[in-house]
Structure 1
Amino acid sequence: MTSALVAVVAVALTIGIAIVATAPGRSTDTERAAQPASTATSGSAPGGGRRSAATLREDFLDRYVRGGRVVRTDQGGDTVSEGQAYGMLVALASGDQRRFRSIWSWTRQHLQGDDHLLAWRWTTEGGTADEQSASDADLDAARALVLAGKRFDQPAYTTAGKQMASAILDRETAQTDVGRILLPGPWAATGQPYAYDASYASPVAFAVLAKATGDPRWEQLERGSHAVTGTILANAALPSDWSQVHQDGTVDPMPSANGTGGPVVYGWDAMRMPLRYAESCTASDRALAGSIAPTLQRNTQLAAQLDLGGTAVTDSTSALAYAARAASEQATGSTTAASRDLLRADRTAATTHTYYGDAWAALGATMLTSDVLGGCATSSGGAS
């Protein structure tokens, strides 16, 4: 598969910060912001209590998977690599070998290129609509494949996961003075400063793939990602959806991957960061997730987007917002508070179903109540 990358030459913003190269045609922040978001509600989830992670997973698979394709029903019926990877993780966690096989088969046939990475977007009208890969999807898919190879006793999955893992290291990472970092895609490797999304980094995925491949670059990636995320949180109460990382490791918060657009926010992307780090088996990673809990706990109701100081910039909310706060709370040992927020995430997802919200209601509950995806954030506060 030939990448359609058109690199944008870095220029200076009016405040003197460089704009990083971006992948044309990809605007996940805009699309997520456009999806219907629930108005904050009170009360309990359907049935009176929080649904188990297993029930949330089954609901996601039944609602969005059609013939192996994870359909974004609330966004025009297209499919993105991120969704396929989520589907694989959800099916894996449920032990649903049939649906895992179906989702991976569709993904391999329609999205995977000769470089083993996944094209980002596919539509019913034209097939592959954007051939560029997204590292968060590639990383989640590789993790799912390696774990599925063991759980389902399918060596072919392990092989496919290891091939994808090598491609991620080769094409979607960069070396900086503070260590190796995960780039959002191959397009971001064209020049410095590097576009960076802290929520793409997954310490558990790094560990799973390090063990499977024996490649020392995964440990380098864990150290570099931790260092950059630590710098981000040392300079702001919350991580931004996007940042840019300079060669010396300094970091600037950005409004988007290319430095243009609206305000810098903690939103649809950044909210995944505490979930990724809270499930880690490393205490220092969990500490990063826990560090944002005080800011998120200022108000019981959470908006879908906050500024980096924790002030709401929208009236709507999302299931992911509560799952993210649950992760930060659990990382500090506050399992009761985490359980309450997982209930809020469930309730919000049930109020207005969206592909993204339902995916993270299921994944968040799974990551925080089970070690089935390779993590260590298990809690007595939830059923898996």
Structure 2
Amino acid sequence: MNPKVKVLRLLFVALSLLCFSITTMSADLDWQTFKHRFLAQDGRIIDTGNHNISHTEGQGFSMLFAVAANDQKEFDHIWRWTKKYLQDPQTKLFYWKYNPISANPIEDKNNASDGDVLIAWALLKAAKKWNVPEYLTESDTIVRSLLKYTVVEFGGYKVMLPGRYGFTAKNEVIINPSYFIFPAWNDFLRRTHLAEIKTLINDCYRLLQDIDWGRFKLPTDWISLSATGKTYPAARWPARVSYDAIRVPMYIKWAEPNNPILVRWSDWFRAYPRNSMPAWENMVDQSTAVYPMRGGLMAVRDLTLGQLSLSDTRVLVSDDYYSSSLKLLSVLAAAGE
């Protein structure tokens, strides 16, 4: 064989292996950085961009990362703290927020359904990876509680409310589409075969598809669902595609990489040069952030467009907890894990 051809073939194989291993290597390597920066000694995850509080979102994200990195020691560490301090003994859901400097760290007894989903999903994955039946029992209990307390039928759709309290009214309910964690719901369906979960998945996809308002017909961070089945930006929040809604394409890409609704997100991302993509846009008045996307937001953009690279997923000193989380989540989404 021609030496040059042999070298080229070896180079091709090496590059292929590198591309194949980016998701697995980066999840592990960046988990080391992530836990060094954000995991406290007691097992709680510190949200450095939000007054150093902890919340179920961060606990759930980090449990997922620990499973992906095959780090059972830290998984148990995080889970034990979460169960001890945040789990409601009555509902088995979790108090969403823990403020370590408050006289009463659990001031709000409400849950956040996305945090509950993430915790249950991580436990399900951990049970399979490490063959621990107790994790599976805990996961099943949380899923049953989510269905009981947060899933409702309204306006012709079955949806998951953002929390048990505070999101329903006579003529509308408030929903947060970034709480529609489709890949987790898919795993819950495979585990339980419950028709209720299948309907939830199908109806939430349909709800997103039925959005017919705003620029690019994208869901804003918070939306209202009326009793007639119409959706519109929720009045209590700016009509922005912002730090919450950025997770929507990531979860859809994770669950169904070829779902046609992703075209709407691709159109929005491509409407701006990559380096000047605004961090948020108001879909009603088209005002935009005066600062660009960076960090984890950019990782989600690149994931959605099929352009995610290793450099997108490295956790940098400039990344806060949420930016770092989006980077690691994008890695897992790209890997379909």
TM (norm. structure 2) is 0.84
- Cα deviation, residue 236, structure 1: 3.7
Q: Show the counterpart of 2:274.
A: 300
Q: 1:179 to 1:157 in 2, by over 3 A?
A: same
**201, 205, 212: which one pairs with 2:191?**
212
Q: Distance in 2 between matches of 1:182 and 1:253?
A: 17
**204, 215, 219: which one pairs with 1:225?**
204
Q: Show the counterpart of 2:9.
A: none
Q: Show the counterpart of 2:59.
A: 84
**93, 98, 105: which one pairs with 1:127?**
105
Q: Show the counterpart of 2:147.
A: 169
Q: Does 1:339 align with 2:308?
A: yes
Q: 1:317 to 1:339 in 2, by over 3 A?
A: closer
Q: Does 1:355 align with 2:328?
A: no
Q: Which blocks of at least 5 consecutive residues in structure 1 are unaligned?
A: 1-48, 331-337, 373-384
Q: Show the counterpart of 2:288.
A: 312
* Count of residue pairs brought into register by the alignment: 306
Q: Which blocks of at least 5 consecutive residues in structure 2 are unaligned?
A: 1-21
Q: Show the counterpart of 2:263.
A: 290
Indicate the structure whose relative CO is greater, using CA pairs within 8 Å and at least 6 residues apart.
1
Q: Show the counterpart of 1:42.
A: none
Q: 1:318 to 1:116 in 2, by over 3 A?
A: farther
| Amino acid across the alignment from 1:139 | V
| Amino acid across the alignment from 2:266 | A
Q: Bigger shift: 53-62 or 213-222? A: 53-62
- Cα deviation, residue 316, structure 1: 4.5
Q: Deviations over 1:66-90 (max 9, x none)?
A: 1211012343221111111111111
- Cα deviation, residue 218, structure 1: 0.6
The 5-angstrom pairing of residues 104-183 of structure 1 reads 104-113=79-88, 114-125=90-101, 126-183=104-161
Q: Distance in 2 between matches of 1:195 and 1:159?
A: 31
**60, 72, 84: which one pairs with 2:47?**
72
- Cα deviation, residue 311, structure 1: 5.8
| Amino acid across the alignment from 1:186 | R
Q: Does 1:365 align with 2:331?
A: yes
The 5-angstrom pairing of residues 234-273 of structure 1 reads 236-237=215-216, 238-254=218-234, 259-261=235-237, 263-273=238-248
Q: 1:192 to 1:96 in 2, by over 3 A?
A: farther
- Cα deviation, residue 216, structure 1: 1.4
Q: Deviations over 1:336-363 (max 9, x none)?
A: xx125x63464xx526221111111111
| Amino acid across the alignment from 2:66 | A
Q: Distance in 1 between matches of 2:287 and 2:30?
A: 30
Q: Show the counterpart of 1:46.
A: none
Q: Show the counterpart of 1:375.
A: none
Identity of aligned residues (%): 22
Q: Show the counterpart of 2:37.
A: 63
Q: Does 1:199 align with 2:178?
A: yes
Q: Distance in 2 between matches of 1:351 and 1:104?
A: 26
Aligned with 1:350: secondary structure? Answer: coil
RMSD: 2.3
Q: 1:62 to 1:191 in 2, by over 3 A?
A: farther
Contact 2:313–2:328 at 8 Å: present in 1 too?
no
TM (norm. structure 1) is 0.74
- Cα deviation, residue 209, structure 1: 0.8
- Cα deviation, residue 278, structure 1: 0.3
- Cα deviation, residue 157, structure 1: 0.7
Contact 1:272–1:320 at 8 Å: present in 2 too?
no
Q: Deviations over 1:160-187 (max 9, x none)?
A: 1111101111111111344311111111
